Each structure stands twice: as structure tokens, then as C-alpha cells.
Structure 1
Amino acid sequence: MTHDLVTALRPLLTAEAAAEAYAAGTEAGDLEQAVWLRLLERLEAEGPPHDPGQWLRRAVRAEVRRTRRTRRLERPYPAEPVDDGRGDPEQLALAAARGQALRAAVRRLPGRCPRLMEALLAPEDLTYREIAGELGISQGSLGPERSRCLGCLRRLLAPEVAAR
């Protein structure tokens, strides 16, 4: 039933949206999507409209009015927001979340691994000599110790990565 209704209304909606979009200052595709959403909401709440063509025309005009009202109320920035060089806020938030998850996993590592991994992840970019001196171990054992700790970390994070 729904598929037949969508198939029957598609050409009419495409024509109505194309006719009204320019005057509303929006894209015809945006109007179409909004009306399809209204139709789905209508079907869920009340069932199919008695006169689908009439309902569709009214829905397109209602969306045009809503779009105009929204455009009147929303004000654009006078200029584009300044990029302060730190990047996209969403990407920054995701990177911070990944960093927190990594540091939480590092704290759960056994033995000397948490201290070693924290030293390797330090923003100061310490050399192997500095890390060995800080941890009180020989510089030659850092490589094998690091490999062992990374293996533990990989096993610890595997379930979390697989869950995503």
C-alpha cells in the first residue's frame, strides 16, 4: 500500500516541489524530503490521506511556509567563523575521545607498561635514553619491553575496536 502511494505521488511531488522551491529560496530536493517525511509521519499516525494529491499539494505549501519562516528568523554570520588552526570541532572531539580511551587502556596494562607507554606518549617526545633514565631500566631493553607492552595493549583494545 505504502509503496503504491509513494510510486503514485512521486511525479506530482517532484513537479510541485520544483515549482515552489525557487520562491521559497530552497532546493526542490529538500522540499521533497520534508514532504516525504510528513507523509511517513501521517501514515504512522492517521493512515493514508483520503485525497493523496490534495494532501500532497497542501503539504508542499506548508513546507514552503515553514522554510520561509525559518529563513526570516535565522540570521547568517556576518562572515565565516575564523579557523583558529586547531581544526574541525567534531574531529577534535573525536580525537580527544580516542586519546582518553587509549590512556584508560594504558592505565590497565600490567607491570611497568603503564609508565613506559605514558613516557612514549608524552607530548615532550622523549628520546629512548631519557625514557630509560626516567624508568631506571637499560636503553637496550626498551625495544623488547615496548613490543611486549604494545602487544598487551593491542589485546586489551581488540574487543573495543571490534565492538565499533
Structure 2
Amino acid sequence: MTLLDHEPGRATATALVVRLEPLVRAEAGAEAPAAGLDPADLEQAVWLRLLERPVAAGPPGDPARWVRDTVRAEARKGRRAARRERPYAGTEPAAPHTGSPERAALGAAERLALRAAVARLPERCARLLDAMLAPTDPTYREIAGELGMSQGSLGPIRSRCLGCLRRMLAAEVAVPELRGRVR
């Protein structure tokens, strides 16, 4: 049972979250660049640590100090993980031959363009999407273990990374004309 699961303390826990939100956002925003992390990811890690606190421990005695210490601990963890991890430099496996040589060449060019676009993303997004695009089709548990992050945070991070990729690619693609007029 965690701090926010305890029914009688729910109002206190909610008030604590509301009170700490600006501080967590500011601390994460300050620490993230030096750690090479996305501030939203660092912020999420701090909230997870608060949610994982046992009920018996209660809310932090000095919430501001707890936030500062937790943000710094998560940033250190991110820096250690970044030092240990190496980008995957393998080549894309050959696509199975399904159709004409033109279709196979087009598929290879599309995969190459996707890999190039993923490589231009921020490092954490690039590592996550590379892992998800692996030819072995790993599970979320395997990806989380490989990247050193919690399995529960993969979905939200993946969503943010895909949104970033979508915005980046939309800026590169010409807007189609609509009945002779440009949108």
C-alpha cells in the first residue's frame, strides 16, 4: 500500500501533490539538462518515487528537501545509465522478399529514412525507439531492462517521443495542396 492508496490520507496526499507540483517542475527543469534527461521524464520519476512511498512512512517531513534530494538522485541515476549505455550501431536486417524488387527497394529506403529520423531525436527518445524497432521485437519488460527504466513509464515516454518524431517529420514534409490552394 502506498501513500496515495490510503483512503483517510487521500486529501492530504492530494494537497501535497498540488503544493509540490511547481517545485518538482522547477527542480526537474534545472537538473535535467546537466543530466542529459528530458525534464518531463525526470519529473515523472520523482512523482513515481512519491507514489511508491509506503503509507507507514507518511508524507515527507520536509517536502522541499525531499523533492530536491529525489530530483538529484534521479538525475544521478540517469547520468549513470547514460554512461553505461551505448547506442546500437547495428544494421537493419534485410526485409523479406515480398513482391517486386521496386517494392523491396522502397521498403528499405523507408526503413532507412525512419532510422535517420529517429537518430535526430533527443538521445533518450532515440534509444527508446531504436529498442522498440529492434528486429527481435522485444517486450516492454525487455526494453525497460535494457534501458534501465521502469516498465510503466515506457508507454508515456514512447508517446512523447512519437509526438516529437511526428512534429519533426511534419515540418520536413511539404503540405499537400487542396484543390489548387496551399493550406
TM-score normalised by L of structure 2: 0.45
TM-score normalised by L of structure 1: 0.50
Q: Which has the higher helix share?
A: 1
